[in-house]
Amino acid sequence: MKVGFARVSTNEQDLEVQLSKLSDFGCEKVFKGKQSGTSIKNDEKLKELIDFIREGDEVIVTRLDRLGRSLKTILDSIDNIHRKGACLNIIDGSLNTSNDNPFSNAMINLCGVFAQLERDLIKARTAEGRAEAKAKGKHLGRMPALKDQQARELFNAKLNGESISALARKYKVSRPTVHRTISRIKKIIEQSKSITL
């Protein structure tokens, strides 16, 4: 039986390309998810896959790094697939572990190393970019839902007794956003007090 495994790292990414390729490759069942390759959720999905497959099955992925982002996760997954008597077929890498030979094994190890290297480079570049942006005083992360003026108005309204629910409706935001906004303005006020002291 051909069993597919599809994964994307975030909810914004689309699984459809992988699912289409796996379908074209003849997969009868596909395990899929939107989770980081280093997450517990990914480990759980892989375990579901391993528990499902039987001897003679073929596990198919579009790329080797779909199994996980760390070399250890990838190699452990391959070992577990082989222990069940199944093989791994990587579409984009044109690699099939049913060809149990030294060249095939070396290629799998190399692919895993490069998948990890790529992730480490991305992490390093991201960290450098964040450090540079921080040094320039740029805002990191999501922008607040309310502008400073609106946030102060909301804060004052809360001080005057308006409820969280009423403020959420008034500013067309969620209740957690109202709580975060109040905390943000409190922090700004406390910081300004400490500077003037």
Is the alpha carbon torsion for 31, 37, 42, 47 positive or negative? positive
Catalytic pick from 9, 36, 39, 70? 9
Q: Alpha carbon 178 to chain centroid distance?
A: 27
- Facing residues of 6 across strands? 32
The residue ranges of DSSP E strands in 50-101, in sequence order, are 58-61, 87-90, 95-96
Active-site residue, 183 included: no
Biggest CA–CA distance in the chain, Å, is: 75
The catalytic site residues sit at: 9
